[in-house]
Amino acid sequence: MDETWFAPVCAYCERADGSFWAEPVNALSNVAFLIAAGAVAWRERRGARPDPVILVLAGLVAVIGLGSFLFHTLAVRWSLLADVIPIAAFIHAYFFLAMRRFFAFGPGPALAATLLFAAFGFGLEPALDILLGPALAAATNGSIAYVPAILALVGVGAGLLVPQRGGRDPARYAAGTGLLAIAGLFALSLAFRTLDRSLCASLPLGTHFLWHILNAGVLSALLVTALRYRSRRG
């Protein structure tokens, strides 16, 4: 097997060596994702109508926690993929769900919109590298990759606040305001991820663990918002 897959990755303040428990706080803070997944699954089970899509996405939140745990313990290149692939899967799956559930797109248009969003997301960082140089990605500790997700939350949230012909729909308005609030929480969590490396000298523990905790809240809030919207629409 290619040895590059086992190349060590030292990306955050807390890791001072290559040992398994070199990032105990970063690793164990991933329990927040498991708690979030369990809380959403419990809420779905208490609802009047089954919502299997939410259960699947809650399972994906748990996978995100497990993948991140692998990365912050093994800290090699293949475990980085175990960290980022489930996150990317959740972002795009939720975008597709938003197109279907919040805007009532058919499967084809929802898939087309999701593919366009994916193309924008995967192309943004390379485009910025060409325009501004790779220093920007280094300065933000790779957080540029999550900017499309924030933009999507703001765009979808704002779109749901636009009045319909029959007047303001309370369910749409509640979902829209909820998504905008979640976008603010996500921006805060992303700030902690971004600042981690720059604070190493003054804060050896870093701030990446706060990204885990707050981001678990973001993902659970997104699923609860979709769950509530479906129940309010009947």
6 part of a folded domain = no
170 part of a folded domain = yes
Q: Report the CATH number that the domain containing residue 68 is assigned in CATH.
A: 1.20.1070
58 part of a folded domain = yes
9 part of a folded domain = no
Q: Please count the other Cβ atoms lying within 10 Å of the Cβ belonging to residue 218.
A: 21
43 part of a folded domain = yes
Residue 75 backbone zone (phi > 0: left; psi -120 to 50: alpha; other: beta)? left
142 part of a folded domain = yes
How many domains does the chain fold into?
A: 1
pLDDT digits (tens, 9 = 90+) for 192-216: 999 998 999 899 999 999 999 999 9
Q: Determine the pLDDT at residue 71.
A: 97
1 falls in which pLDDT band (50, 70, 90)? very low
Q: For residue 129, with 0-12 CB atoms within 10 Å meaning exposed, 13-18 middle and 19 or more buried, which class applies?
A: middle
Which residues constitute the domain of residue 166?
A: 19-233
Question: Does residue 179 have a pLDDT over 90?
Answer: yes
234 falls in which pLDDT band (50, 70, 90)? low
pLDDT digits (tens, 9 = 90+) for 83-142: 999 999 999 999 999 999 999 999 999 999 999 999 999 999 888 888 877 777 777 888
14 part of a folded domain = no
* pTM for the predicted model, two decimal places: 0.95
pLDDT digits (tens, 9 = 90+) for 111-121: 999 999 999 99
